[in-house]
């Protein structure tokens, strides 16, 4: 037997004309007993008014932003419970009092946190802390969750679904997070997270124009393509950078002595060509650094070829052309190819396949300046060598200081594949190869 009842705002303490910040049901909805109907917000807290019965909503009598007090009609409900049960309604909402609520922050409503009143059903917000991890398995930012601009029923839903509210954008009034926002977030996560910035916590959006004049220019095509790849490498690869210094005094003297020979074949013999050769020799010694993890993350794919990429700065952004089979080329051939590829990169004439297949990369900022930096691994490669500007330095030879040309090296590596000891051995070996010039020119 069904019966239609009017559900009213229950005793809400001394509060009058309280703001309705959310209406969670509409006519025709089938609702459960205790399901949140509306959210009220006082200057101290937000609270849900749960339904005293299960049933079907016939008509909703209030809307968002209405002001209500005890006794205001919320909706009419066709009750589907038995008449006996319906005749003994459960008190609808915990009566808020000033002691039951924590002070709200200036921007966000804070949920009531008092112990449940034994006379009334516990407030919905007490169910919050049941889930520790968000749908993406990233731990929930509890401090941020507490401050999120959302009512108790939304918080409850978020807890049930394991959604970190700090990552959900609110579509409600004053960016308030609604139940729909939480559901849309979960849906987006299930579909791969594309709609929510790859599942990462978002940087706050700022209206820069509020603070002064601005101009908006689109990113270059290269930056639009390389940005997501850099970000993917940054978030997926546990990076560590090992710094070292190579004594290149002899190497630089040899390079200068060979410049005329190089000029004859149209090559500019820069340090980078020697670095490519030295890296190949070191990669042969440390084959893990020339490997990649397979997609399962369980196996290492060792590559028997040595295709060395180098970062080239172009007016439109960073590109990484690849010297193929660098182990089979001498330093002059490498120098010439470096020059050709760098020129093509600057002219925007580099073909896609000239940037594919790299096994290890070098990023040289030595021609520009700097003492050290932390390059981002060009994943799925597992290591990248950063090169900074060489400097004459006093180096102690056991008896006295000698002026030596020292080259700063910064090896960033994927710590899943290369451990610190191997990285230190790698750079030590590389420094040795660079100081023993003969092997590099033959």
- Site for ligand CAO, rule CB under 6 A: 270-272, 310-313, 318, 342, 363-367, 375, 387, 389-390, 407
Shortest spacing between CB 229 and ligand CAO, in angstroms: 12
Q: How far is the CB of 422 from ligand CAO (least distance, A)?
A: 23
* Shortest Å distance, C-beta 305 to ligand CAO: 22
Q: Are 31 and 51 in contact (CB under 8 A)?
A: yes
Closest CB to ligand CAO among residues 163, 251 = 251
The pair phi, psi for residue 278, each rounded to 5°, is -65, -35
Active site residue 243: no
Q: Which of 425, 364, 371, 433 is nearest to 242 (CA)?
A: 425
| CA pair distance 281, 29, nearest whole angstrom | 71
Chain centroid, CA 228 distance in Å = 11
Of 120, 126, 239, 415, the catalytic one is 415
Q: Which residue is nearest to ligand CAO (CB)?
A: 366
Least distance in angstroms from the C-beta of 312 to ligand CAO: 4
State which residue, 389 or 415, has the beta carbon closest to ligand CAO: 389
CB closer to ligand CAO, 238 vs 367:
367
- What does residue 219 show for φ and ψ, rounded to 5 degrees? -65, 155
Q: Provide, rounded to whole angstroms, the least separation between the CB of residue 367 and ligand CAO.
A: 3
For ligand CAO, the closer of residues 145 and 310 by Cβ is 310
Catalytic residues: 415
């Amino acid at each position: 037997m069904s019966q239609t009842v009017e559900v009213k705002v229950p005793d809400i303490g001394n509060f009058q004309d309280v703001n309705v910040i959310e209406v969670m049901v509409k006519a025709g909805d089938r609702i459960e007993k205790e399901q949140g109907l509306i959210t009220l917000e006082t200057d101290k807290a937000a609270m849900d008014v749960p339904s005293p019965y299960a049933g079907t909503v016939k008509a909703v009598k209030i809307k968002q932003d209405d002001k209500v007090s005890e006794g205001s009609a919320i909706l009419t409900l066709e009750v589907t419970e038995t008449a006996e049960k319906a005749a003994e309604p459960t008190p609808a909402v915990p009566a808020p009092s000033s002691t039951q609520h924590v002070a709200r922050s200036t921007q966000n409503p804070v949920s009531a946190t008092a112990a449940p009143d034994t006379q009334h059903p516990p407030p919905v917000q007490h169910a919050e802390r049941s889930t520790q991890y968000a749908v993406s398995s990233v731990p929930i930012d509890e401090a941020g969750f507490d401050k999120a601009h959302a009512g108790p029923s939304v918080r409850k839903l978020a807890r049930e679904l394991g959604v970190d509210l700090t990552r959900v954008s609110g579509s409600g009034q004053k960016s308030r997070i609604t139940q729909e926002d939480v559901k849309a977030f979960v849906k987006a996560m299930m579909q791969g997270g594309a709609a929510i910035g790859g599942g990462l916590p978002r940087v706050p959006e700022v209206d820069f124009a509020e603070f002064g004049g601005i101009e908006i220019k689109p990113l270059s095509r290269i930056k639009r393509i390389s940005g997501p790849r850099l970000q993917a490498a940054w978030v997926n690869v546990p990076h560590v950078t090992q710094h070292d210094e190579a004594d290149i005094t002899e190497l630089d003297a040899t390079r200068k002595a060979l410049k005329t020979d190089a000029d004859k074949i149209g090559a500019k013999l820069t340090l980078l060509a020697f670095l490519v050769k030295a890296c190949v020799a070191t990669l042969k010694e440390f084959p893990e650094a020339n490997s990649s993890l397979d997609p399962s993350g369980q196996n290492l794919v060792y590559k028997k070829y040595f295709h060395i990429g180098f970062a080239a700065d172009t007016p439109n952004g960073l590109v990484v052309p690849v010297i193929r089979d660098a182990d089979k080329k001498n330093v002059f051939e490498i120098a010439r190819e470096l020059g050709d590829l760098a020129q093509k990169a600057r002219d925007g004439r580099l073909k896609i396949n000239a940037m594919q297949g790299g096994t290890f990369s070098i990023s040289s900022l030595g021609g520009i300046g700097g003492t050290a930096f932390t390059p981002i691994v060009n994943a799925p490669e597992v290591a990248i060598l950063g090169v900074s500007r060489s400097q004459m330095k006093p180096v102690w030879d056991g008896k006295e200081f000698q002026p030596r040309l020292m080259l700063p090296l910064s090896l960033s590596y994927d710590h899943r594949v290369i451990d610190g000891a191997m990285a230190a051995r790698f750079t030590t070996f590389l420094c040795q190869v660079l100081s023993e010039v003969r092997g590099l020119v033959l």
